[in-house]
C-alpha cells in the first residue's frame, strides 16, 4: 500500500473522512471500484456492501415502507432527511435486477442531498425482489412485467408521495436506471405531476412520439460505449426538439452501460459517475427546489 493510500486510510479511521468520501477517494486513487477493493477491505468496508451513505446514517430516516399500488401493496425503500420541514419527493426506479442494496444507497444519497426518496420494488406484484434467488431469475421476472402494470404502480408512488406530510407535493421528480431509465422516461410522458425527469441510459418509449406529452424538463444521461442504447439518443433528441421540450442530454465518452453503478466493477466509471451525479443534483435544484 502506497503513502497516499495510507494517509487516506488513516484519515478515515480517525474520522476525518466520512464513509462516503473515503469510498469516493479510494476509487479515485485506484482508478476503479475493483482496483480499490483491497483498500476498502483494509478499512472494513466490504466491496459487496460499500454504500456511499451508511444505511444507519443518523441524519436520515431510512427503511422499507408499503404504499397502495394499483392491485395491492407495493413495497418500497424510503429515505428522507430527519430535519424538520418538507422536501421535494423523488421516485427512484431500479434496474432489471430489482430493488438492490445499490438502489437503496442511491435513495439515501438523494436524502442526504435534501430529498424525500422513494424506491419502489416493482416486483411486488410477483412476490418482491427477495423472492428471486439469482440475478438471472430477477431479470426474467422483470421481463414478465407489462409497462402498463409498472406505470400504474409508479403513478401510485407519486400519489403516495403527494400525500406524505414531509413532501412538497408540487415538487416531484423521478430518476431511473437502465430498465428503470426507460420506465422513468415513460412516466414522464404520462404524468403531469412531475417537475423533473432523469434517465440513466434507458430505452426510448414506443412509439417515440409519446415524448410530445412530456410537461417536465428531462435530463438524459448516457455512456458512449453502449451499443444497445446509443442508437436511440439522436432520434430522442430530434423528437424532443421538434416538440419544443426542455431537455439536457449528456453523453460520457468511453463510459459503458450502467457506468453509474459502483457495485459493478466491470462497468463502473468513477469520473463519469461523479460528474453525472453532480449534474443530477444541479438539475433537481433548478427544477425541484428553485
Burial of 76 (0-12, 13-18, 19+ CB in 10 A): buried
All three cell numbers of 76, joined, read: 418500497
Spatial CB neighbours of 237, under 8 Å, sequence gap ≥ 6: 247, 249
Catalytically annotated residue among 94, 102, 116, 257: 257
Among candidate residues 121, 193, 226, 262, the one labeled active-site is: 226
- Catalytic residue at 262? no
Q: Look at the block and give the residue holding cell 442526504.
A: 112
Strands 194-200 and 60-68 come out as: unpaired
Q: Are strands 218-225 and 247-256 parallel, antiparallel or unpaired?
A: parallel
Does the active-site annotation cover 226? yes
d(CA 150, CA 156): 10
**Residue 257 a catalytic site member:** yes
Which of 94, 116, 153, 178 is flagged as catalytic? 178
CA-CA-CA-CA dihedral for 246, 209, 191, 170, to nearest 10: 10
Task: Supply the residues annotated as catalytic.
Answer: 178, 226, 257
Amino acid at each position: 500500500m502506497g503513502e497516499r493510500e495510507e494517509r487516506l486510510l488513516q484519515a478515515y479511521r480517525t474520522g476525518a473522512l466520512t464513509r462516503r468520501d473515503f469510498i469516493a477517494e479510494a476509487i479515485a486513487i485506484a482508478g476503479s471500484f475493483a482496483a480499490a477493493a483491497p483498500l476498502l477491505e483494509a478499512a472494513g468496508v466490504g466491496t459487496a456492501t460499500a454504500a456511499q451513505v451508511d444505511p444507519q446514517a443518523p441524519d436520515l430516516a431510512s427503511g422499507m415502507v408499503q404504499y397502495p399500488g394499483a392491485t395491492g401493496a407495493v413495497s418500497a425503500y424510503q429515505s428522507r432527511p430527519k430535519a424538520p420541514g418538507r422536501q421535494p419527493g423523488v421516485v427512484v426506479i431500479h434496474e432489471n435486477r430489482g430493488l438492490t442494496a445499490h438502489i437503496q444507497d442511491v435513495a439515501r444519497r438523494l436524502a442526504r442531498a435534501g430529498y424525500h426518496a422513494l424506491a419502489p420494488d416493482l416486483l411486488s406484484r410477483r412476490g418482491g425482489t427477495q423472492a428471486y434467488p439469482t440475478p438471472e431469475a430477477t431479470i426474467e421476472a422483470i421481463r414478465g412485467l407489462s409497462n402498463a402494470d409498472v406505470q400504474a404502480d409508479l403513478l401510485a408512488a407519486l400519489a403516495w408521495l403527494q400525500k406524505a406530510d414531509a413532501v412538497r407535493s408540487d415538487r416531484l421528480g423521478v430518476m431511473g436506471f437502465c430498465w428503470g431509465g426507460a420506465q422513468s422516461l415513460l412516466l414522464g410522458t404520462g404524468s403531469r405531476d412531475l417537475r423533473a425527469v432523469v434517465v440513466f441510459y434507458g430505452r426510448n418509449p414506443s412509439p417515440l412520439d409519446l415524448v410530445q406529452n412530456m410537461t417536465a424538463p428531462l435530463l438524459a444521461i448516457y455512456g458512449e460505449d453502449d451499443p444497445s442504447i446509443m442508437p436511440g439518443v439522436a432520434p430522442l433528441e430530434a423528437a424532443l426538439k421538434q416538440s419544443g421540450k426542455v431537455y439536457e442530454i449528456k453523453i460520457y465518452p468511453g463510459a459503458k452501460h450502467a457506468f453509474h453503478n459502483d457495485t459493478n466493477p466491470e462497468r463502473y466509471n468513477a469520473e463519469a459517475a461523479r460528474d453525472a451525479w453532480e449534474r443530477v443534483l444541479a438539475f433537481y435544484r433548478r427544477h425541484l427546489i428553485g
